[in-house]
Structure formats: structure tokens, C-alpha cells
Amino acid sequence: MKSIMEKSDSLFMNTYGRFPAVMVEGRGYLLKDESGREYLDFLSGIAVCGLGHCHPDVTAAIVAQAGKLVHVSNLFYTAPQTELAELLVANSFADRIFLANSGAEVNEAAIKLARKHGGPGRYEIISLQGSFHGRTLATVAATGQEKFHKGFEPLPEGFVHAPFGDLAALEKMISPKTCGILCEPLQGEGGVRPLPKEYLRGIRTLCDKHNLVLLFDEVQVGMGRTGTLFAYEQFGVEPDIMTLAKALGNGLPIGAMLAREEVAASFSPGDHASTFGGNPVACAAAVAVLKIMLAEGFLAAVGKKGEYLQGRLRTLVDEFPGLASEVRGLGLIQGLVLTEKGASLGAEIVKRLFDKGVLANFAGGVALRFIPPLIVDEAGVESMVSRLREVLAGF
């Protein structure tokens, strides 16, 4: 009899390089495979399970809503949608939201809104080199990494990429065709690289000076990941449009685009839509997520745990200077930046971590990325660092 892995490999398109494990159960920051082996999850479904696996409050919200109403389309109103919108608007810069199913989908929506707001002839969006904005054709074109472009040309026009950290170069790229500047406050897929505060403030100033909309992609770094509900809060810079997904539903597919009233007003009925977006069950899960994250002390604890994780990773820089050079990140998205030798071993390090029961990944070809559930504790961090030390000592 074929195993699940063998069946899957014979049935699915070859789009994923999967780890050899069939996951069957999750609780908190632990995952269990079909053999009963446990894993420390410092990947959290690629920053999706922010509250850990099967958080009881989220599970209860899902079960309760699934027993009442699962789908009605956006031709009707539902209470979970409205409650989620109220929470997001009340706790952000935004006045209006649009709900979809994924990060790529809301980034597509944000691109359309920026173009519509820009008016005729203003359709170009400047994003940053090293960025990642999704897997659809438009979001691939917006992504500032050539490796994601190859094989899919010609890409949709209207996207240019400014060199990271060079404000003067960015301003020179602004033309009468430009309608907005798109960036992640911290580049996750690009190697866990926060934008310098002054650089991000400079981008805001350029947008104001040239009448451009500023779009923040917080699909990965929003929803508490950096120690504040949204990453922009730590930079003192507010966008005009922001996108969320991943941890918003703690595992259920949901994305949100938030915008200021003046910008959101550029959309009229028929300009954009999503059949499944704002699904009542996904919205009920997201409401539960937000209520937990907004409870007193939760986000402050994330910040402290992030400092602890960063400090423990720094000890490894001191112990293995030939492999690791620095630690960078915010809150509970931390990257152990590898030396040239270490980077050549990055994929192998991740494989050996898996063999030791730790899930992590290698981002941007430069950094081991650690994005555990926000409910991780010091014992979990210590266990991960101990196993990582053993792996690094093997080279």
C-alpha cells in the first residue's frame, strides 16, 4: 500500500519541496506527525498560526459559526464580517476595509485601488528590490526578486523596483506614470530585513510630495508578529493602504485590505470583488484572533519574547562566527544571518534542524528565519536554540 507521501507525489503538481512528514496533529507550538514524532514549530505555517495550533478560543469560534452559517456571498451582510471590520478599523489608521482570501489576493486588490485612485495614465507602482508580494502574475511582477520572475515573462507592466535603502534613487524613478510606492516594513522573504526607520519615513515624505499612495504589505509582519498589532506602529509612519492575511485567521484563509477613506472612495461597486472573501467562518476566527491579541499584555509579551529569542540567537553568532554574522528582526520574526560559508549550507542546516525536530526555513538565501507562534515560551526557545547549536557544531 502506498504511503500518503507516495500518493501525494504521484498526484500533485511538482510545485512544493516538502519535508518528509505527514502532519496529523498540532497543539500550541508543537506539531506531531503520523509516526507520533513531535516537532518544535518555528515556522508556524509560514507565519500563519500566530496563536499556535488549535487555539481553543479560535476553534470554538470556528465550530460555533460553522454550525450557524458558512457562506452567503457578499450580496448579503453578516455579523462576523461587520465585527471584524469594526475591530480592524478601530485599531488601525484605516477607515474602510475589503476582505479576500489570501495575501496575494489583497495585494492584487491594493494594486488595483492604487491605480484607480491615481487616475488615467498613472498606473506604475514602485516596489523595493528584495521584496516579496505574492504568486499571482501582478504580485510576482511587484516582487523585487528576479528569481520569482523567471519563466513567467512577459509580466504585467507597470512595476519597477528601487534599490533597497537608496531614497535618492527611489525619487529619481518617480514619473508622471507613478501612482504609488509599495513596501514591506520588514522584508521577510527577502532575508528578515527591517527597513531603516528614516528610510521608511523618507518614503512617506516622497509619497506626500508627489501625491502618491503609500502601500504597506503587512501580510507576514502584521497581526502582532513584530510586537505591535501592525508593524507600521513601530516606525512612526502610516500608510494609505495596508494588506493583511496569514495570521489574521490563524490558519483559516482570509485577507484584508485596509485604506484611508479618501483612497478607498476610489472604488465603486463592480470595481473589485471576491466570491469567498469575508466568509463568515473565517471572519469569526479572525475576530477571535484579534480579541486575543488585543487583550492587555499580549503584544507586550510578544515583544519581550522576541528580545529573548534575539538574544539567544546572538549567542550563536559568538559561538559560530564562521557560519553566522548577525541577528536581525522585530518581535517574533528573527533571522540568523549567515556568512558566505553559512549561506552555502543554509538548505542543509534547515534539513538537519528538521531531522532534530525543529521546523524553520532559509529566507532570501542569507538568513535562517524563525517565526514561531506568538504563544511560544522561553522553554520552547531554549529547546530550539539547543538543537540549532548542535546542528551548527556539525559543520
Quote the pLDDT of residue 145: 96
Average pLDDT of the residues in 298-310 = 98
Q: Is the pLDDT of residue 341 over 60?
A: yes
| Phi, psi dihedrals of residue 187, rounded to the nearest 5° | -80, 110
Quote the pLDDT of residue 262: 98
- Distance between CA atoms of residues 132 and 128, nearest Å: 9
The proportion of the chain whose per-residue pLDDT surpasses 90, expressed as a percent, equals: 99
Using a CB cutoff of 8 Å and minimum separation of 24, what contacts does 55-60 make?
Answer: 55/250, 55/288, 55/292, 55/375, 57/288, 57/291, 57/292, 58/250, 58/251, 58/285, 58/288, 58/289, 58/292, 60/288
Total residues belonging to the chain: 395
Cell 489576493 identifies what position? 105
pLDDT tens for 25-65 read 999 999 999 999 999 999 999 999 999 999 999 999 999 99
Quote the pLDDT of residue 23: 97
- In degrees, to the nearest 5, what angle opens at C-alpha 121 toward C-alphas 157 and 274? 65
**Can you tell me whether residue 217 is helix, strand or coil?**
strand
- Distance between CA atoms of residues 276 and 89, nearest Å: 21
- In degrees, to the nearest 5, what angle opens at C-alpha 131 toward C-alphas 84 and 210? 80
Start-end of H helices in the chain? 4-11, 44-47, 56-66, 79-90, 103-118, 137-142, 167-173, 197-210, 261-264, 280-294, 298-319, 340-344, 346-355, 378-392
Quote the pLDDT of residue 37: 97
Quote the pLDDT of residue 1: 55
Q: Which residues contact 168 (CB under 8 A, 6 or more apart)?
A: none
Bridge partners of 30, per DSSP, are 27, 40
Show the cell assigned to 231.
508593524
User: Could you tell me the pLDDT band of residue 381, with boundaries at 50, 70 and 90?
Assistant: very high
Show the cell assigned to 63.
465550530
| Phi, psi dihedrals of residue 376, rounded to the nearest 5° | -60, 150
Treating both helix axes as pointing N-terminal to C-terminal, what angle do 378-392 and 298-319 enclose, rounded to 10 degrees?
20
Quote the pLDDT of residue 264: 98
Helix (H) or strand (E) holding 160: strand 159-162
The proportion of the chain whose per-residue pLDDT surpasses 70, expressed as a percent, equals: 99
pLDDT tens for 217-251 read 999 999 999 999 999 999 999 999 999 999 999 99
Average pLDDT of the residues in 339-353 = 98
pLDDT tens for 155-192 read 999 999 999 999 999 999 999 999 999 999 999 998 99
pLDDT tens for 65-79 read 999 999 999 999 999
Quote the pLDDT of residue 27: 98
